[in-house]
Structure 1
Amino acid sequence: MDLSFSVLITGGCGYFGYRLACTLQEKGARVTLLDTALPVQDLPKNVIFLQGDVRDYAQVERAVTNVDCVFHIASYGMSGREQLNWQLIEAVNVQGTQNVLKACVEHGVSRLVYTSTFNVVFGGQEIENGDESLPYLPLHLHPDHYSRTKSLAEMAVLKANGTVLQDGSGVLRTCALRSAGIYGPGEQRHLPRVVSYIEKGIFRFVYGKPNSLVEFVHVDNLVLAHILAAEALSAEKHHLSAGKAYFISDGQPVNNFEFFRPLVEGLGYSFPKLRLPVTLIYYIAFLIEMIHYVIGPFYNFQPLLTRTEVYKTGVTHYFSMAKAMSELGYKPHKYDLDEVVHWFKSRGHGRKVQSSGFGQFMLNVLFVTAFAAIILSFLPVSILLTLL
């Protein structure tokens, strides 16, 4: 595939964006990164960094000038305390996407690949081998604002497909890739949080059914899918992916906690034997969110879990990739967590001492919260719904 064209990656200094940039640059593309954060790694030759915010249209407009293809990755509110900042989530995910689409149309950008999520169709219900024929989850049923705004953004991106470009050069072609949870060496959003729980002695239990299945995607598989999707938007590929969404993962459904077993044991820790019901953990997460709502303005602590994270990790949901494989030619490579374990060990992680006092403190808090959650579970559903 000839990638000797100019691309813009929004959110390009994040883990996935940077990995995508490096691969595109190696294939001959001229790459520009737009991000609010400065690069934490050295940029490859001919990769340009622009510090900017997708919420600011003027900055987006400057970034898309003379660009052939946009990879719109930038988003906010995926996990942890970020999920509780509703205003910023709305501004980045919805308004930011509208700014990107507007700039593409006004400046003659012919292709846009949007990084979406499983969450646009999933809200806690079991899904086995679902496909792209599934409808969007009704907006009012989303358990978190991130998922709701990602749905709105994906809808806007796919609706914009076929919009006439103002410079008269043709139309905008768009597609969306619904990604599973990303992993790989150096991932900085989820894995460090998991490792911190392990090292602080907080990871003492698992939850959900042993046979519940979820999916993950290695960063390099996701990079591959994005490049194939961009290619499929081209005239040479007859715009095959235009106006479409695709589920992307490693194609290996696995129990969430069993997926992380090699990481836990590879760092020298014992895998938990205690298993708790999803309902109990959901109520605990609900209480933690309520506590954050009250004291968050004064102390923005990292929640142990949010309700959405409980669903995403404890309830079966996995999807067929038949469409991505047949239309994009996507064939995921097989990976494991060995390289992730090595990455953490090379940075000094691994079992050295007994669990910290902080870990014991958090366990005490957890048990108190669990007791309150049990009491909540006896409340009428109507009362809980008003609280939620």
Structure 2
Amino acid sequence: MDSSRRVLITGGGGFVGLKLCQELTRRGYKVTALDVKFVSDAALVKEEDKNIDKVEADITDTSRVNEVVSSCKPHGIFHVASYGMSGREMLNKAQIEAVNVQGTSNVLNACREHNVRWVVYTSTYNVVFAGQVIENGDDTTPYLPPDQHIDHYSRTKCMAEQMVIAANGDELQGGSGHLRTCSLRCAGIYGEGETRHLPRIVSYIQQGLFCFKYGDPNCLVEFIHVDNVVLGHRLAAMALDDDQKHKTVGGQSYFISDGTPVNNFEFFRPLIEGLGYTYPKIRIPVGLVYFAAFLIEWIHSLVYLVTGGYSFQPLLTRAEVNKTGVTHYFNMDKAQRHLGYQPLNRNLDGVVEWYKKRLPRQPNNKNNSWLLILNILLMVTFVAILFSFIPMAG
């Protein structure tokens, strides 16, 4: 990948997109970042950001996407933008489909029309996972049928990845060549300043809601530090840009992670204890938590319908329970062979230090009485559900 050429990064204003922009800029690439808004946290902004061309645009707007691609003339596109990965956004089906499916279609069409050489798509484990146990899975693990996905984010990411993979080899306008594409299926992303999952988890820790564990203690899942996400994307782009390697990499999907399957709660233990809180000892069956998440989603949908749009942040969704409480991890042999991907040695230590500098040094649960009451009510609900499954004596 010639550093003198321009690349376009959709979702370049988000956490992963910004990190990718910064790394490529440091390496001498000309970078255009496209997003509806850009990270404003001063701690994430770097000196090299002034060299990034930032364009505010919505990838669901077909004409606007065409306009941006036409004007910046990128050699390749990192399609990072997505919507609905976690929390309340997971339940906004219309917006999820607009961004993840229509947005991807717009990007691919613009590539064909404006002679973009390659596309690297940021995908997820969720395209093949919906709550079934997967141990050491690989690229032979099949896509799930749409009706087997329990959340719209996973369903639409699966649809979008297949669109990207199918576009490999498509003829570019004027017979100037063929589009080259591949997909990177990332584990749960974390890192200093991550804006989707970690702030929510930290808020639960502070509010006393992180008071129990669930699922089998031997359950294993995977995570990936943002530095490894960036590494994987850079290697994939280099391979697609190579006139020989693209024949192997084009049209392929790759699992990437830190390479260390771990129990979800053990992974977050350093963060819980590092912020001065007690690691939870109570363990609840994952099935009960899944049922509670179902009720929470139902209540959320009802509130959304009654209020005409407003709703609360759900404590957990069913998809999040599956991702954190059901074993699923994959080997990266294919990414190592084809891309030369070897994950950097990363862990949660940097995240712990990040939050230590930004939060009170000692736990402060003042003004959280209502959360304690909610917590107790949730526990009572779980116990009531549990006893409903126990036959009455006599």
- The normalised TM-score by structure 2 is 0.93
Match of 1:362 in 2: 374
Worse-matched range after superposition: 368-377 or 100-109: 368-377
Alpha-carbon offset, residue 354 of structure 1: 4.1
1:175 is aligned to 2:182: yes
Aligned equivalents of 2:294, 2:384: Cα separation in 1: 11
3-state DSSP of counterpart to 1:167: helix
- Alpha carbons of structure 1 residues 376 and 325: separation in structure 2 relative to 1, 3 Å: farther
Aligned equivalents of 1:27, 1:195: Cα separation in 2: 33
Worse-matched range after superposition: 228-237 or 115-124: 228-237
Q: What is the identity, as a one-letter code, of the residue corresponding to 2:356?
A: K
Amino-acid identity (%) = 56
1:127 is aligned to 2:134: yes
Choose the corresponding residue for 1:58, options 56, 63, 83: 63
1:88 is aligned to 2:100: no
**What count of residue pairs does the alignment treat as equivalent?**
378
| Contact 1:287 1:373 (C-alpha < 8 Å) held by counterparts | no
| Contact 2:275 2:363 (C-alpha < 8 Å) held by counterparts | no
Aligned equivalents of 2:272, 2:224: Cα separation in 1: 19
Match of 1:33 in 2: 33
1:114 is aligned to 2:121: yes
Aligned equivalents of 1:26, 1:345: Cα separation in 2: 28
1:160 is aligned to 2:160: no
Gaps of 5+ in 2: none
Alpha-carbon offset, residue 318 of structure 1: 0.2
Aligned counterparts, 1:331-346, within 5 A: 331-346=342-357
Worse-matched range after superposition: 52-61 or 37-46: 37-46
Match of 1:320 in 2: 331
Aligned equivalents of 2:59, 2:362: Cα separation in 1: 41
Q: What is the identity, as a one-letter code, of the residue corresponding to 1:140?
A: D
Choose the corresponding residue for 1:214, options 206, 214, 221: 221
| Contact 1:10 1:73 (C-alpha < 8 Å) held by counterparts | yes
Instruction: Please provide the CA RMSD for this pair.
Output: 1.6
| Contact 2:207 2:365 (C-alpha < 8 Å) held by counterparts | no
Alpha-carbon offset, residue 2 of structure 1: 3.6
Alpha-carbon offset, residue 300 of structure 1: 1.2
Match of 1:73 in 2: 80
3-state DSSP of counterpart to 1:296: helix
Q: What is the identity, as a one-letter code, of the residue corresponding to 1:19?
A: K
Choose the corresponding residue for 2:249, options 241, 254, 259: 241
Choose the corresponding residue for 1:277, options 258, 276, 285: 285
Aligned equivalents of 1:118, 1:289: Cα separation in 2: 22
Alpha-carbon offset, residue 376 of structure 1: 8.2
3-state DSSP of counterpart to 2:49: coil
Alpha-carbon offset, residue 151 of structure 1: 0.3
3-state DSSP of counterpart to 2:7: strand
- Alpha carbons of structure 1 residues 134 and 8: separation in structure 2 relative to 1, 3 Å: same
Q: What is the identity, as a one-letter code, of the residue corresponding to 1:224?
A: L
Match of 2:6 in 1: 6
Alpha-carbon offset, residue 182 of structure 1: 0.5
Match of 1:384 in 2: none
| Contact 2:90 2:152 (C-alpha < 8 Å) held by counterparts | yes
Aligned counterparts, 1:248-259, within 5 A: 248-259=256-267
Alpha-carbon offset, residue 363 of structure 1: 0.4
Match of 2:206 in 1: 199
Q: What is the identity, as a one-letter code, of the residue corresponding to 1:361?
A: I
1:150 is aligned to 2:161: no
Aligned equivalents of 2:286, 2:217: Cα separation in 1: 11
The runs of at least 4 aligned residues of structure 1 exceeding 4 Å deviation read 371-378
Aligned equivalents of 2:17, 2:228: Cα separation in 1: 13
- Alpha carbons of structure 1 residues 3 and 237: separation in structure 2 relative to 1, 3 Å: farther
Worse-matched range after superposition: 153-162 or 347-356: 347-356
Gaps of 5+ in 1: 379-388
Aligned equivalents of 1:11, 1:349: Cα separation in 2: 32
Aligned equivalents of 2:51, 2:364: Cα separation in 1: 45
- Alpha carbons of structure 1 residues 138 and 377: separation in structure 2 relative to 1, 3 Å: farther
Match of 1:268 in 2: 276
| Contact 2:275 2:352 (C-alpha < 8 Å) held by counterparts | yes
Aligned equivalents of 2:149, 2:77: Cα separation in 1: 28
| Contact 1:180 1:216 (C-alpha < 8 Å) held by counterparts | yes
Aligned counterparts, 1:344-355, within 5 A: 344-354=355-365
- Alpha carbons of structure 1 residues 97 and 187: separation in structure 2 relative to 1, 3 Å: same
Deviations 1:310-363 (A, max 9, x none): 000000000000000111000001112111111111112443334621330220
Aligned equivalents of 2:33, 2:171: Cα separation in 1: 25
Alpha-carbon offset, residue 116 of structure 1: 0.4
Worse-matched range after superposition: 349-358 or 18-27: 349-358
Choose the corresponding residue for 2:315, options 304, 307, 317: 304
Q: What is the identity, as a one-letter code, of the residue corresponding to 1:131?
A: D
Aligned equivalents of 2:5, 2:79: Cα separation in 1: 16
